[in-house]
Chain A
Amino acid sequence: MAKKRTIRTIPQQRTPVREQDPRERVRNFAEVNCGYTRQEAATEAERCLFCPDPACVAGCPVNIDIPGFIREIGAQDFRAAYEVIGRANLLPAVCGRVCPQESQCEGVCVVGDTLEPVAIGRLERFVGDLAIKEGWASIPYIEPNGFKIGIVGSGPAGIACAADMAKAGCAVTVYEAFHQPGGVLRYGIPDFRLPNEVIDAEIENLRKLGVRFECNTLVGRLFTIEQMIDELGFDAVFIGTGAGYPSMLGIPGDCLNRVLSANELLTRCNLMRAKDFPDYDTPLPLGRRVAVIGAGNTAMDAMRVCLRLGAERVFCVYRRTKAEAPARAEEIHHAEEEGIEFHWLTAPVEILPDEKGGVGAMRCIRMELGAPDASGRARPVPVPGSEHELAVDQVVFAIGTNANPIIGQTSKLRLDRRGYIEADESMATSMAGVFAGGDIVTGAATVIEAMGAGRRAARSMKEYLGIRDDGTASLGEAERGGMLFGIDHRERNFARIRLA
C-alpha cells in the first residue's frame, strides 16, 4: 500500500493539456482542447487526495463520485472509471467539456487551496472520450415497468431525465422540435468546444437504453401537454424546453439587417452547417468587424465562431468587468488567446445604419460599477459624456433570453410573472404528473444545472409513479414500442387521439 498522499507528495503542477495553437485554430472548427492521453490522465489522477468527505462531490450538480472515478484512473482501470461516472452522469464527454468546473467541483477542491485544483473536468472528459472510442456503454439489464414517460425537449435537462427514467424501466419518448436531437448541445455549442460526433455518441447511448427520440415534433402545437397525459397515455411528462426567445435589448437599430441574436448565429453555424455554405444551403454572411454584446459562454462562442468564419476584428462589449463576466474561465482565456478585443464597462446605446440597411457603427457609452443590485453584482452606471462610436458592420446580441411562450400559449400550466413555468423544489408543476426543469423554469443557466434539474425531476417522477429504487414495477406489462404516439407517422398510430 502506497504511503498516504499529502499536498506535499502529489505532483505540484497540474498536468497540462495539449491545445491547438491559437493562430492555427482561428481558421478551423476543430477542437481547441485536445484532451488528455492515458498517461497524462493517470499522472493527473495522482494529484487527488481522496478526501474522506470530498467537497467536489457536493460541488457537482449531479454528485458524481469524483474521487471514486479518479481512483480507477490512477489504477489504469478506465472502464471502471467510466462505470463510476455513469452511475451519476450519462454524458461525461459533454460535461467534461462544458461544465463551469471552476465554480463547481474544481472550485471547492481542497488541493486548490494551496495548488491548482485537480483537473476534474479534463479527467471526466478523458473517460468520456475513451468510452466513445472503445464503444463502452453502461447498459444495465432493465426490467420494463409499464410506465410511459414523455419528455419535451432533447437538451441537457430532457436527456438527463430520460436516462434516469429509462434505467428505472420506463418507456421513454423524447420529443424535439428540431430535426436533430441534442437541444442547445447541438444548435448552441460550436464544434470547437463540443464536436457533433460526441453528441451523436451520447444520444446513441440513450437509444441503447431504450429511449426513443422523435424529432420534428413541436409539442404545444402538434399536441399539447394536456393531450400527452389525457389522450396519449403518458403517465408522466417532463418539460425541458430551454430558455428560447432571445433578448434584443430594444435599442434603436436592433432590427437592422446586420444585427442578429447569438442564438441565430450559432444555430445557423452549428446545426445548419452554414460554415459549409454553399455545400449546405443555410447562409450566414457576416461583417468584417463584429461586435458581440454580452460576456457569457454564448457570447464567447459567438465571437469565436465569427473569427473562424473570417471576421477581421471581433469585439466583446460588456457593461461590467471581466470579474463579473458569466462565461467559463477557460472560454474567456481561449477568446483572449484568439485575439478577441474586450471592451469591458461598455454598453451599446444605438446601432447606426449604413446606406444599405446594414450596420454602419455602434454608439456606446462607458460604464462604472456602482452599488450592488438585486443579484448581488455591482450595478453598472453610465459615465456621463462618455459616448463614443465603435466602427463595426455586424452586431450580435448575446445578452440572455426570455421565456419561450409556446407551452404557456397552449397549456394551462401555471407560469411565473416572466412567463417561466412554475415548479417547486421537486420540479413538480401546477399540473399533476407534469414536471419541468432547466432553463424554462430557472431562466438561462448551465448545461450541468439543467441536467441536475432533469435528474431531480426524474427522482420526483419515480416517487409520483410509485417506482421503487430496486426497479420493481407496480403496473402490469404495458404496451410498448409501436403503440407510442406519433412514432412512425403511420396513421394507425394516431387512432387514440380524440379530436377536440
Chain B
Amino acid sequence: MHDASGSAGFEIIRREDFSDVTYLLEIRHPLMARAAKPGQFVIVMSHAQGERIPLTIADFDRGRGSVTLVIQAVGKTTREMQQTCQVGTMLYALVGPMGVPSAIGQAKKVLCVGGGLGTAPIFPQARGFSENGAYVIGVLGFRSKDLIFWEDKFRGCCDELILCTDDGSAGVKGTIADGMKLAIERHRDIEEAVIIGPPVMMKAGAQVTRTAGIKTVVSLNPIMVDGTGMCGGCRVKIGDQVKFACVDGPDFDGHKVDFDDLTMRLKRYAEEEKTALARWSESCRLAQARGSG
C-alpha cells in the first residue's frame, strides 16, 4: 500500500517497441479486459506526481486478462513512460474502460482508418466489424516503412488492407485520405467509415467521406482530467452542441465535429507542456552526465 489510494498499482506484463517513438504496453487488469469494448479508453497515471492522460484501448485479451495500450512518445509524460515503463513495473493508476463503446453495427462493408496515434485503436473496431460479418477494408497511414506495426494483426481481421506512407517506402505514397479515395473508387458500396487519428487527419478523412456520402464515425481524444464527466475539460463542438468527449463520446459523427476547435483546445497547455518537457529533458541529460562521469 503506497498512499491514500490503497492500490499497489497495475503491472506491465509486456512491452514492445515499434520504433523510437512508438511503444506498446500490455497491462494486467482482468476485470477491465472483460469489460472493455471497442472504442473505449483508459486514463493512466504513471506515478503519483504524474498527470492523468487518456489513451484509447488498442486491444484487450480476456484470456490473458490484459489490456494493451500503444503510446507515442510526444510530450513529457509519454517520453518519461517510454523510459520508466518496463515489464514488471507498475502504473500508479489505470482506470477504465471509459466512454460509450463504439456502435459496431451490421454494416456489410466498412472502412477502418487509422493513422498516427489512431493506428492501434482502430484495431478493436476492425476486429469487431469483422466478427459481425462485415467486409472490412483497413487503411493505415505511417510516415515510412520502418514505422509500420501490427500489419499481421490487421491482415487477420481485414479483408483488404491499404497501407499508406508519406514517403512511399511501403504501400501507397500519400496520406490516409489518398488510401481512402482508392478504396472508395474500388468499392462503391461502403456503408460506413471509422477514422481514428490526429485531428488534422480525421478532418481530411471526414472530408473524403463527406464527398462520397459515407456515414463516418471519428474518435476524439481531447485533454481530460477525470474522464468521468466531472471537469468538462474535454468539451467538443458537435454541430451546434457542446459535448463532453469522456462520457458523451469519444465517438462522434465525423461530419459534425468542429476539428478546428478541437485542434485549438488541444493547444491550451502548449506552453506548460514545453516547460515540463524541457525541464525533464534537462534532468535526463544531467542524470546521464552523472552516470557516465
> Interface on A for B, CB 8 Å cutoff?
177-182, 187, 199-200, 203, 207, 212-218, 221-223, 242, 244-246, 248, 250, 254-255, 257-258, 260-261, 263-264, 267-268, 272-273, 277-283, 285, 357, 404-406, 409, 486, 488-489, 491, 494, 497, 499
Contacts and interface: CB of A to CB of B under 8 A. Distances in A.
Nearest to A200: B4
B127 interface: no
For chain B, give the interface size range: 35 or more
Given A177-B95, A216-B95, A218-B95, A246 B5 contact: no
B8 interface: yes
Contact of A261 (B35, B232, B271, B279): B232
Given A178-B226, A217-B95, A497-B31, A264 B268 contact: no
Nearest to A492: B30
B230 A267 contact: yes
Contacts of B264: 257, 357
B187 interface: no
B228 A244 contact: yes
A178 to B, nearest CB: 7
A180 B235 CA distance: 24
Among the interface residues B230, B233, B269, which one has the most CB atoms of the partner chain A within 10 A? B230
Interface of B: 3-8, 10-11, 28-32, 34-35, 40, 45, 49-52, 62, 65, 76-77, 92-100, 225-233, 235, 237, 242, 244, 247-248, 261, 264-265, 267-269, 271-273, 275-276, 279
Given A221-B40, A221-B96, A406 B230 contact: no
Given A281-B49, A406-B247, A264 B31 contact: no
Given A216-B93, A222-B31, A244-B229, 16 more contacts: A218-B98, A221-B98, A221-B99, A246-B230, A255-B261, A260-B232, A272-B225, A279-B49, A280-B51, A282-B52, A283-B272, A357-B268, A409-B247, A489-B8, A489-B29, A494-B30
B4 A281 contact: no
A246 B45 contact: no
B77 A281 contact: yes
Nearest to B93: A179
A167 to B, nearest CB: 20
A179 B5 CA distance: 6
A196 to B, nearest CB: 8
A216 B49 contact: no
B15 to A, nearest CB: 19
B35 A221 contact: yes
Given A285-B269, A404-B228, A273 B49 contact: yes
Contacts of A406: 228-229, 247
A272 B50 CA distance: 8
